[in-house]
Amino acid sequence: MNGVLAFCRPGFEPELAAELTERSAAAGLAGYARTERGSGLVQFVGDDHAALARALPWRALIFARQVLAQLADLPALDPQDRITPLLAALGESSARRCYGQLIVEHSDADAAKPLASLARSLGNALRQVLRKRGWLSASDDATLPRLHVVLIAGDHLLLAEGDPAGSPDWPGGIPRLRMLRDAPSRSALKLEEALQVLLTPAERERWLKPGMRAADLGAAPGGWSWVLARAHLRVTAIDNGPLADTALATGLIEHLRADGFRWQPNTPLDWLVCDMVEQPARVAERMATWFREGWCRRAIFNLKLPMKKRWQETRHCLELFASEAARPLEIRAKQLYHDREEITVYAG
């Protein structure tokens, strides 16, 4: 079964399926989505998996954590010998005979987590066999595609390959970030992840310099302001609620008790960040106002999604933002691992 295999947050399979269907059609490629609610995986089946993988890159997809070119679907395996049919399928499905890395994994769904020990043992055994055949480099080679074995169950796996240049740097597309003791809230992890996923290392170095000025709308208790202050930016935190002492202790955060939907800066700022709990269209319109009026150069903000028609609401809000900003902008959006019923957007 050719096509692409995409990972997502469990429960958001319909949104990812709709996104894959719409984007593949826009690229002139036929296909259909297959998924099971709560699985954390979507298979998009088409005749040309390589073309689909090129047309559906991970970085351009909002609800995908990782996108792979699927080579084979292997159900009803003998638990005593999974490797023999896997090798046969690999020989039939791929013209490639050497991979830079083997990754044996499973989705982030609760039902799949018991497969972790099997993934480790299967990976250790398969790695040796592939190297003996010359199908896997002796050491990780980032110039070669990766071979992915995705466990669905003990007797069911998917075979896929990924391009290191177009794949996330983290297994399964999930950055494992550590919550620091003095972080004002767990929401700090959302901005930490956004900076890693939505910006390249070169962009982070160029756009997050000491002394730059930022505003954080709806800042309390100060998690996002604290992340920016750790990068030595000077932050104006806008919220009628209190900030945590650890945020104020940075010495780089000025707290103003004001309404985030009304406040505006006296001079243009380098950054705007916003994680306000509000209707997504209202947030999108306010963010657009900041760019239209020239109040900021770059922004990262969250859009809280409704329980239904989340893909439609996502498209509507992003189109609204782009239209109301009334200026050319590069827009990148992702549902991050630390997000819940929301997506995170970069614009600049």
H or E stretch at 300:
strand 296-304
Give how far the C-alpha of residue 216 lies from the chain's centroid of Cα atoms, to the nearest Å.
22
CA dist 113 to 3, 107, 117, 288, 335, Å? 25, 8, 9, 41, 21
Neighbours of 9 (CB within 10 A): 22
One-letter-per-residue 3-state SS of 170-215: CHHHCCCCCCCCCCCCCCHHHHHHHHHHHCCHHHHHHHCCCCCEEE
Contact 101, 146 (CB under 8 A): yes
Neighbours of 309 (CB within 10 A): 14
Q: 279, 276, 305: which is closest to 15 by C-alpha?
A: 305
Q: What would the two tokens of residue 7 be?
A: 């990972």
> DSSP letter at 133?
H
Q: Helix, strand, coil shares of the chain as percentages rounded to 5? A: 35, 25, 40
CA dist 5 to 74, 340, 341, Å? 14, 22, 22
From CA 60, how far away is CA 346, in angstroms rounded?
12
Q: At residue 182, what is the residue type?
A: D
From CA 87, how far away is CA 46, in angstroms rounded?
23
Q: What would the two tokens of residue 274 be?
A: 């916003």
Q: What would the two tokens of residue 231 be?
A: 């990068």
Selecting among 113, 304, 309, 334, the annotated active-site residue is 304
308 belongs to the catalytic site: no
**Active-site amino acid positions:** 304
